[in-house]
Copies of this chain bind each other. A is one copy, B any other.
Amino acid sequence: MTTTARRGRPRDEGTDARILAAAYELLLERGYERYSMDEVAQRAGVAKTTLYRRWPTKDHLVVAVVAKIQDDVPVTDTGDIRHDLVTYLAAIVAGLDRMRRVGRPATPDDRSAGLVAEITAAAARHPDVGEAVRALFARRNALPLALLESARARGDLRPDARPDLLFDALAGAVYYRLLITGEPFDGDYAAELVDQVLAGARAL
């Protein structure tokens, strides 16, 4: 029996999806500081206990929303490492740019990292949220790391290429710009970054 009645509401496999969709909608409307667990439960049509059993705080729920957003970014190995890395990083740039604007009016010169910085701070403040964020990134980053491993295995990358360091450099550049320097992502940032890191800086 996979369905049990709780407080008159059916518990079905779509409950998680409904909660995450409601949380994302409310985040978009209200922003991080002004969305509440009670409203999420109400909008998703679930009992508060159902919500809190899955995600004990709004920080945990935000991490789950981010995981969902990340899982919607496909990672495909076409055999062309440059193409695949550019596609992946461009999707990360677009996703982070949406996420940072969550709950705030769109103004052209806004350089705040918004929700991305709030999640970073929540992860630093609460050990269990930090654990959840790190587990999320370990799981997701395995995909681009596998792209790099596979390119090295077929001889497209140097034998001494280090996927872990290369991925830190590529993803790190994007997060650094967003969280620290606030520089906008002009033109074809993802492609230019990938080309620099693949080509290397040293004169031959």
Contact = CB atoms under 8 A, between A and B. Distances in A.
Contact of A173 (B124, B172, B182): B172
Contact of A176 (B117, B118, B171): B171
Please classify the interface of chain A as helix (H, G, I), strand (E, B), loop, or mixed, using the class held by over half of its residues: helix
A74 interface: no
Interface string A130-169: 1001100110010000001000000111111110011011
A156 B201 CA distance: 9
B114 A118 contact: no
A180 B168 CA distance: 10
A173 B181 contact: no
A198 interface: yes
A171 B169 CA distance: 8
Interface residues of A, number: 56
Interface stretch (A16-24, A38-46, A189-197): A189-197
A175 interface: yes
Contact of A200 (B148, B176, B179, B198): B198
A112 B124 contact: yes
Interface of A: 100, 111-114, 116-118, 120-121, 123-125, 127, 130, 133-134, 137-138, 141, 148, 155-162, 165-166, 168-177, 179-182, 192-193, 196-204
